[in-house]
Amino acid sequence: MKPGFAALPEPPYYAVIFTSQRTPGDAGYSEAAERMLALAAQQPGYLGVESSRGADGLGITVSYWASLEAIATWRAQMEHAATRDQGRAQWYEHYELRVAKVERAYGWSRGEPEPRP
């Protein structure tokens, strides 16, 4: 899989779409974000993550999970919960989170004639 893209199984699986507006400055954010990515990757049912943030501070991170149970377990993970508290205290102006069931997926890479299912 290309850098930045999650290598995922065939659907169905679940996506957590996290859209956020960062506060100015780092204040420990980068280190914590890296730690959360590493910790998430160790959770049962974790499938992958894709993340981007623009110069305006608006970012979208989509994490992929095998089941709603896996998402609930990750949400209850204590260090993750503490980091979310810190996120509201320091790092975010606003966020929206949506949990969704992926029903269909396809992709394309340069050199391929058409999108592949």
Sheet of 46-53, strand order: 13-22, 58-65, 46-53
74 touches a copy of itself (CB under 8 A): no
Amino acid sitting at position 80: H
Among the residue ranges 25-33, 34-42, 106-114, the one whose residues contact a copy of itself (CB under 8 A): 106-114
Q: What is the DSSP string of 24-45?
A: SS-TTHHHHHHHHHHHHHTSTT
Collapse the DSSP code of 68 into the 3-class scheme (helix H, G, I; strand E, B; otherwise coil) and give the result.
helix
Minimum distance, C-beta of residue 69 to a copy of itself, in the bound complex (Å): 14
Number of residues located near a copy of itself, criterion CB under 8 A: 42
75 touches a copy of itself (CB under 8 A): no
Angle (nearest 5°) at CA 21 between 19 and 25: 140
Nearer to a copy of itself, 43 or 48 (CB): 48
Q: Which of 30, 34, 52, 82 binds a copy of itself (CB under 8 A)?
A: 52
* Bridge partners for 49 per DSSP: 63
Under the rule (CB under 8 A), what is the footprint of a copy of itself? 2, 4-6, 11, 15, 17, 19, 21, 23, 50-56, 58-60, 62, 88, 92-110, 115
